[in-house]
Amino acid sequence: MKKHPDILPNDVEALKKMILGQQQQIDGQQRKILTLEEALRLERFNRFGASSEKAPGQGELFNEAEDCIDDTEDESTNSDSTTEQSSAPAEKVKPKRKPLPSNLPRVRKVYELPESELQCPCGCTLTEIGEEISEQLDVIPARFQVIQHARKKYACKSCEDTIKTAAKPTKILPKSNASAGTLAYVITAKYQDGLPLHRLSNIFKRFDVDLSRQTLSDWTLKTAAQCEPIIEALQKQLNAGPVVHCDETTVQVLKEPDKAAQSKSYTWVQKGGPPGKPVVRFSYDRGRSGQVPLRLLKGYQGALMTDGYTGYNAIAEQDGIAHLCCMAHLRRKFVDAQKIAQQKGKTQRTSKADVAVNYIAKLYAVEKAHKDSDSAIRQVARQEKSALILKEFRKWIDKTKSKVLPKSKLGEALSYADKYWDKATRYVENGAWPIDNNPAENAIRPFVIGRKNWLFSNTVNGANASATLYSLIETAKLNMHEPYNYLRWLFNELPKVIDGDVERLMPWNIAPSVIKPN
């Protein structure tokens, strides 16, 4: 702020102009202070506050929706009994132990009384009348074995010129001594369980199996390369679906041409597919430009669900694409503003952010009530209920926006809602369209969790291999397969494919019971 002059101007207009300019500076500083205070409160809440908020569509619906499912419910009903119940101490429910899976093998151990205790005080011998059975869960560590492939040789005893040997078994890595089960175990451990290869190598050493990290990495890269026909088939099915969810996250690649090791690259995820053929497709790219979705979704026609990232605008502008934006992202903006209000001590009264969150809760209540309905019934519900809620919500946004500082958290939430309103509310036009992008976020979560363990990819080939193997594992899980079982079966069957016909290997074409090991 400028210093006050020693002598104020005599001219009244000049004095008013000076005062106005200084007041504007003060107002600007106050707005800046308010913005910084809100950022500090939000950071403090995120670090030290309770993190019980659940995103809609991920598990149980957040609490606000419980009060909004039926607006016609009489709030005064049983008010006295409710008060009495709330004052009474809650009865503690003793947790029940879940029974052990019936499909696990049972090892029976029988315990009998010694001969000395079989005599009754009356002089008779006790007779067996039954038994009491209790069960313990027993774990046998990983068991290694060596499979010997003995190829018989045959010769002609008459001419001694002809010698034939039985054919070699088909292997996904012909020059490797790793079986399909070993490859499936290594890949599942890293990409499903988030276990870095150097830790896996150390585990193997405890069983006297010396496999270096480099060997395990080499197996992983080569196996992923052999699975490219499967990935192409998955992409084809993805493009054939009515809706594709998209998201992206960062990945660090140390040895990428023309890029520093500390720079960010990206893993993109797409989730979709026709009914009964769900697909998750991971892809690696060095950048985050709008050209990436154009390449990944080339030829796609249907609904495209994304967050507010503008990199999807280019693909969304193509003919045949209906661009939808995530309602959960819109909600999170208001949740941040809600946290700020709580930090300011406004928990005793409803804040403006609470109003917005409750509007969105009503929208999700409609979705929850028709989660299992077909698209036609859901469409009717959206037109009859959701459309009215959105109309009221829009009026509230327009009324509130002018009363809030634009750079405050609530102001940012209102601006975000205003900017993406048409795309975020377009889902009501079609009962088959989703309300949010949570499926893509759920699909990308295993990658994000795994990244915390293995941290980075060494090369571009490694990043592409990771994308391939994550695609196989997550798609297998969507189709109700245990990842190890599916990969083990796939790695055995893939070398037998003739003329690139991989359709029979798709996870939706094989029952889990068929590929389960004995």
Look at residue 264 in the predicted model and tell me its pLDDT. Answer: 87
Is the confidence at residue 47, as pLDDT, over 70? Answer: no
pLDDT at residue 55 in the model: 45
Q: Please, are residues 438 and 425 in contact by the beta-carbon 8 Å criterion? A: no
Please say if the pLDDT value at position 82 is more than 80: no
Burial 229-242 (b: 16+ CB within 10 A, else e): ebbebbbebbbbbb
140 to 2, 55, 137, 490: CA distances (angstroms): 77, 39, 10, 26
List of residues 6+ apart from 69 with CB closer than 8 A? 365, 368, 369
- What's the CA dihedral at 218, 223, 229, 235 to 10 degrees? -80
Tokens of 453: 């363990």
* Predicted confidence (pLDDT) at residue 252 exceeds the cutoff of 90: no
Q: What is the pLDDT of residues 277-325, one digit of tens each?
A: 999 999 999 888 889 999 999 989 999 999 988 889 999 999 999 999 9
Mean local confidence (pLDDT), 180-207? 92
Q: How far apart are CA 503 and CA 512, in angstroms?
A: 16
> 235 is written with which tokens?
């992409």
Q: How confident is the model at residue 203 (pLDDT cuts 50, 70, 90)?
A: very high
List of residues 6+ apart from 512 with CB closer than 8 A:
480, 481, 482, 485
Distance CA 216, CA 204 (A): 11
Q: What are the pLDDT digits (tens) for 473-515?
A: 999 999 999 999 999 999 999 999 887 789 999 999 999 888 8
Q: Are strands 243-251 and 265-272 parallel, antiparallel or unpaired?
A: antiparallel
Q: Quick one: pLDDT at residue 472?
A: 96
SS (H, E, C) 263-330: CCEEEEEEEECCCCCCEEEEEEECCCCCHHHHHHCCCCCEEEEECCCHHHHHHHCCCCEEEEECHHHH
Q: Return the closest-CA partner of residue 462 out of 295, 284, 292.
A: 284
Burial class (CB in 10 A: 0-12, 13-18, 19+), 179: buried
DSSP-assigned states of every residue in 447-501? HHHHHHHH--EEEHHHHHHHHHHHHHHHHHHHTT--HHHHHHHHHHHGGG-STT-
So what's the pLDDT on residue 39?
65
Q: What is the mean pLDDT of residues 368-381?
A: 92
CA distance linking residue 305 with residue 302, whole number of Å: 10
Q: State the average pLDDT over residues 434-443.
A: 91
Percentage of the chain lying above the pLDDT 70 cut: 85
Q: Span 129-151, mean pLDDT?
A: 87
Which one of 70-74, 135-139, 185-189 scores highest in mean pLDDT?
Answer: 185-189
State the pLDDT at residue 59.
Answer: 43
pLDDT in tens, 258-273: 778 788 888 999 999 9
pTM: 0.77
| Domain layout of the chain by residue ranges | 180-234+459-515, 327-433
Gap between the Cα atoms of 244 and 437, Å rounded: 9
Residues 463/253, Cβ–Cβ less than 8 Å:
yes
- Both ends of the chain: CA-CA distance in Å? 79
**How confident is the model over 321-360, as pLDDT tens digits?**
999 999 999 999 898 888 877 766 545 567 888 999 999 9
Region 100-121 average pLDDT: 88
